[in-house]
A = this chain, B = another copy of it.
């Protein structure tokens, strides 16, 4: 069967975590993009979703008439259906826990440039963003990335251990990509402390099953989505 993946067009955004899993597992899917900034209601109408259960926000995966929302929830589903996570209960929960921790990091990375509110432009909350960026770079980035570094140091090449990547490994790869785009100076400064995380990044980048996608036009560049590069928010 083929899935429909609904997400804003023009940005990788949270849809990219789902896209990487679908692509790496060679799962057929149809990209159903929407223009950014459409009203949610319009989105729902155009998607012809079950009118009684419009999801809260994209991305959504439509599978066999069932609409699944929330990025980590979609990955949980794909992990179960397509073996992108361990089969045993403890392994499944471990990978989902890591994915939810990645989701927390992603939200904080977004809030660096929108500390006051999603409804305002960055330019309208620049002083607040400068303050939040300082803490994010100095405290939050080392705390989150250091956590994944410790996990990998103990478990090995992949976050769940074992010989095969899981959807959480693909997501951590994308987070490193995003943080390098948004905070290049800080990521360079942290390099010595992130040997295992950066090795995982290289291992995912080199996956044969991702080569076609990573080299394709379908892979959207970072721009004004979650990960944004404002030089004044970066630093060593």
Which A residues fall within an 8 A CB radius of B? 52-56, 66, 68-70, 72-73, 76-77, 89-90, 93-94, 96-97, 100-101, 104, 107, 111, 115-120, 125, 128, 131-132, 134-136, 139-140, 144, 147, 150-151, 154-155
Contacts and interface: CB of A to CB of B under 8 A. Distances in A.
A9 to B, nearest CB: 22
Contacts of A135: 116-120
**How many identical chains are in the complex?**
2
Majority secondary structure, A binding face: helix
Given A53-B151, A73-B100, A150-B54, A115 B139 contact: no
A85 to B, nearest CB: 12
A170 to B, nearest CB: 18
A115 B132 contact: yes
B93 A154 contact: no
Given A53-B94, A94-B53, A155-B52, A119 B139 contact: yes
A138 B150 CA distance: 41
